[in-house]
Structure 1
Amino acid sequence: MALETRLAARVGGPVCGVDEAGRGPWAGPVSAGAVILSADHLPPGIDDSKALTAARREVLAVEIKRCAVAWGVGFASVEEIETLNILQATGLAMRRAIEALAVQPRAALVDGNYRFSLPCDVETAVGGDGLSLSIAAASILAKTARDQVMIEMDAIYPGYGFAGHKGYNAPVHSAALKAMGPCAIHRRNWSPIRALLEA
């Protein structure tokens, strides 16, 4: 919590960690999580979501929501990704996650080096999901929320395997695209999808 503590002292108020999930997939929304943690009430085992199993992420997501001072999740849709571009859509998802917090932060500690326009001061941290528990917690909420959406999309758009690969590049996904073409949640401006449409 050292990064959060120093930043909170500097800005004079609460600091949330912010991270995204789903910038790279061929299909589905991009999501973001925002979490304000209390140094006195930390769920054990928080880590970068990519270092955890799906089952462990689910358990930790429940604990984070129970222990956090405030938490929020935001999404940007496929249509917004295509209209804005993925970077700006990611910023939109982050803004929505922060706006969903029950306690509004004075600053956001954001994973990476891009300074998004958010409703509070922004501090970036390269590799932040390995340096900040708040960012790691946000990454877990973003990932579990997006995974749930893609599982639901698998039932609506069967045959693509969304419940397994969550919209990312995978052999079963490529094969389904070749056999069936893209569906409504595919990012049609992504080069593999665009190539299929042009063919």
Structure 2
Amino acid sequence: MGFVVRRSSGIYAYERALRRAGFPLVAGADEAGRGACAGPLVAAAAILSDRRSGEIEGLRDSKLLSAAQRERCYDEVVAKAVAWSVVVVEAAECDRLGMHVANVQALRRALHRLDPAPDYALTDGFGVDGLGVPGLAVWKGDRVAACVAAASVLAKVTRDRIMADLHERWPEYDFATHKGYCTSLHQERLDRLGPCPEHRMRFDNVVRTVRVRAVG
């Protein structure tokens, strides 16, 4: 199959082109938290409506939206999507599998959970095998394909809410501020306190902290 999608055609162009090619249900999948050293990895998938009334105003890559805009888009995706799903992979499981394997498995699980099942899958950045349907990895897919952007919003909002809950349990790490990513604030708390059960022990900065504290 071959088709051309111009970036100037807008964020819904991929879905329209694939529907014209005979794939009525186009799913997008993305993740949040892959680069964090604490907290879960969250993957999401979404199939958006092909109706104009089902379009989400202002939808784009979740990283380009404010927290309030993400919450609004999240609510609209949940209300208007044909299907959507979210998968949470805890930090310990990320350590057990390794981040790449954990990421691919989470995206695959999110896509498999969609009901109805998609006819075609778009994934952000790299391909996911074992889907049972054709798929395409789209570079910066959350910026050019609406269904991938919707998945990015679902994943980001879900993970931010989880990190806010973890902040209540482990307030000394200030998870609500840095969301588990490797910021200078997070590293200062990690160096001072050591890791908690929500930290990913495969990450170099976490391992280094453990080693320094052991020597000290």
Give the TM-score, by structure 1 length: 0.94
Distance of aligned partners of 1:55 and 1:79 in 2 relative to their CA distance in 1, 3 Å threshold: same
SS at match of 2:206: helix
Distance of aligned partners of 1:181 and 1:4 in 2 relative to their CA distance in 1, 3 Å threshold: same
- Which residues of 2 match residues 79-98 of structure 1 at below 5 A? 79-98=92-111
Q: Paired residue for 2:117, among 89, 95, 104? A: 104
Q: Does 1:152 align with 2:165?
A: yes
Question: Number of aligned pairs?
Answer: 198
RMSD: 1.4
Segment drifting more, 72-81 vs 2-11 = 2-11
Structure 1 partner of 2:16? 5
Larger Rg: 2
* Paired letter, 2:44: G
- Tell me, which stretches of 5 or more residues in structure 1 are unaligned? none
* Paired letter, 2:62: S
Report deviation, 1:196: 0.8
* Paired letter, 1:3: Y
Report deviation, 1:183: 0.2
Segment drifting more, 160-169 vs 115-124 = 115-124
Report deviation, 1:9: 4.3
SS at match of 2:172: coil
Report deviation, 1:117: 2.2
Distance of aligned partners of 1:27 and 1:11 in 2 relative to their CA distance in 1, 3 Å threshold: farther
Structure 1 partner of 2:128? 116
1:80 & 1:150 partners in 2: Cα distance? 17
1:164 & 1:150 partners in 2: Cα distance? 9
1:128 & 1:51 partners in 2: Cα distance? 13
* Paired letter, 2:59: I
Report the identity percentage.
37
Give the TM-score, by structure 2 length: 0.87
- Once the two structures are superposed, residues 71-95 of structure 1 have per-residue CA deviations (whole angstroms, 9 ceiling, x without a partner) of 1111222122111111110112112
Q: Paired residue for 2:72, among 53, 56, 59? A: 59
* Paired letter, 1:21: A
Distance of aligned partners of 1:11 and 1:157 in 2 relative to their CA distance in 1, 3 Å threshold: farther
Deviation beyond 3 Å, 4+ runs, structure 1 = 8-13
SS at match of 1:159: helix
- Once the two structures are superposed, residues 87-130 of structure 1 have per-residue CA deviations (whole angstroms, 9 ceiling, x without a partner) of 11011211222233221112210111x21224233211101111
- Which residues of 2 match residues 65-84 of structure 1 at below 5 A? 65-84=78-97
Report deviation, 1:11: 5.6
1:138 & 1:43 partners in 2: Cα distance? 12
Distance of aligned partners of 1:152 and 1:118 in 2 relative to their CA distance in 1, 3 Å threshold: farther
Segment drifting more, 184-193 vs 37-46 = 37-46
- Tell me, which stretches of 5 or more residues in structure 2 are unaligned? 1-11
2:80 & 2:59 partners in 1: Cα distance? 12
SS at match of 2:127: coil
- Which residues of 2 match residues 137-148 of structure 1 at below 5 A? 137-148=150-161
